[in-house]
Amino acid sequence: MNCTRYAILCGGARAVLMPPNSFSDTAQIIPRIGVKMYLREIIYSPLNYIGGKQKILPQLLPIFPKNINICVDLFAGGCNIGLNIPATKLYCNDNLIYLIELYKIFQTTDISEILSYIETQIKDFNLSLENKEGFNLFRQQYNEQKKPLDLFILAAFAFNHQIRFNSSHEFNTPFGYQRSHFNNMMKKKLVAFINRIQESNIIFSHHDFEFFDFSNLNNHDFVYCDPPYLVTTATYNDGKRGFTGWNNNQEKKLLQLLCKLHQQKIKFALSNVIEHKGKVNNILVDWIKDNPYLIVNHITSNYSNSNYQTFVRDKQSSYEVLITNYQHEDVNILF
């Protein structure tokens, strides 16, 4: 599949780009025509988690169902999605246990105590934009002791604020020299993030997706999935970190799980990429063809390059989608 062969299905102010003959005649493709105002204050994660949805939250949130009882964020990551979905009860699940342990500390510890601890550790190790030695010593201590809050501090001073572990479960992101530190903006995000966690009814869990228990869900509930993208490259895809990697088999298992949820009349939404740098996720495309009840919502992931001409010219573009098994409100189906 090549971007230059994409057909344009015009819908309002923005076109939807779809490869010809990729989907069944009954598939439904919805454009993102503008962005609705979202009345609830949006909270952004203080963690720069790989694959985070911070930039596209205003596009995703209006698509999600209203009046959700139980919401499951199955691949929670930085929790950008889960913490912004109004639900009576929220499950935030991720297979990275150290991340979940950090969230549990955020949930049960007073904010002033958390901030005091962070500031003390920064002072004791003289962490700064330039002190690589202090960062390495602090990283060594974390890998020996695995104190949950130290993971957040490490991420604050790590390269691109990324959280990454090796196969021995040692944090191994290098120092973010002259780029990363715990600044006022991160502090502000952290406080808002913790407040949202503490005021919400959340259960944090660390299961591989196929072992999560969905037995208590019904048609009033909602499952959001943001798995590693099969056709993109990321440190969590390769399975070499001591955690479950992502491959064709994992992709198929997840899609089978979503079909089972649909049979149980449970609403779901799946974030994914159909094509990235010319590489196509054929497993996903075939799944869409085989299940005509699915609705494919095009997501503009690069706001500065969102027009059709730029998309065609840019061979590095991704075709990002949100796939649902329900029609969201106030949107006209193209066909």
- What is the DSSP annotation of 232-300? S--TTTSS-SSS----HHHHHHHHHHHHHHHHTT-EEEEEEEEEETTEE-HHHHHHHHH-TT-EEEEE-
For the segment 92-96, the average pLDDT, to the nearest whole number, is 95
Strand 318-324 and strand 267-276: the pairing is: antiparallel
Query: In terms of domains, do 308 and 228 share one?
Result: yes
Query: In terms of domains, do 124 and 161 share one?
Result: yes
Query: Which domain-ending residue is among 139, 162, 189?
Result: 189
Q: Which two tokens stand for residue 139?
A: 């990283």
Residue 13 lies inside a defined structural domain of this protein: yes
pLDDT digit string (tens) for 198-226? 999 999 999 999 999 999 999 999 999 99
pLDDT at 308: 36
Query: In terms of domains, do 220 and 306 share one?
Result: yes
Give dist(CA 278, CA 43) in Å, integer: 34
pLDDT at 334: 33
9, containing H or E segment: strand 7-11
Residue 198 lies inside a defined structural domain of this protein: no
Query: In terms of domains, do 212 and 136 share one?
Result: no
For the segment 301-316, the average pLDDT, to the nearest whole number, is 44
How many domains is the chain built from? 2
Is residue 165 within 8 Å of 241, Cβ to Cβ?
A: yes
Q: Which domain holds residue 235?
A: 3-37+49-95+207-274+287-313
For the segment 89-112, the average pLDDT, to the nearest whole number, is 97
| Alpha carbons within 13 A on the beta-carbon side of 303 | 8
Query: In terms of domains, do 173 and 226 share one?
Result: no
**Is the predicted pLDDT of residue 291 greater than 90, yes or no?**
yes
Domain of residue 243, CATH code: 3.40.50.150
Domain of residue 128, CATH code: 1.10.1020.10
Q: Which residue has the higher pLDDT, 98 or 306?
A: 98
Query: In terms of domains, do 91 and 109 share one?
Result: no
The region of weakest confidence among 2-16, 35-49, 52-66, 306-320 is 2-16
Give dist(CA 236, CA 312) in Å, integer: 29
Q: Print burial letters for 185-224: b (CB count within 10 Å at least 16), e (below 16).
A: ebeebbebbbebbeebebebbbeebeebebeebeeebbbb
Q: Which two tokens stand for residue 250?
A: 């994992």
pTM for the full predicted model: 0.84
pLDDT at 25: 41
DSSP secondary structure letter of residue 93:
E
Strand 28-30 and strand 7-11: the pairing is: unpaired
pLDDT digit string (tens) for 217-265? 999 999 999 999 998 866 555 544 556 678 999 999 999 999 999 999 9
Residue 196 lies inside a defined structural domain of this protein: no
**Is the predicted pLDDT of residue 155 greater than 90, yes or no?**
yes
The region of weakest confidence among 46-50, 233-237, 275-279 is 233-237
pLDDT at 300: 84
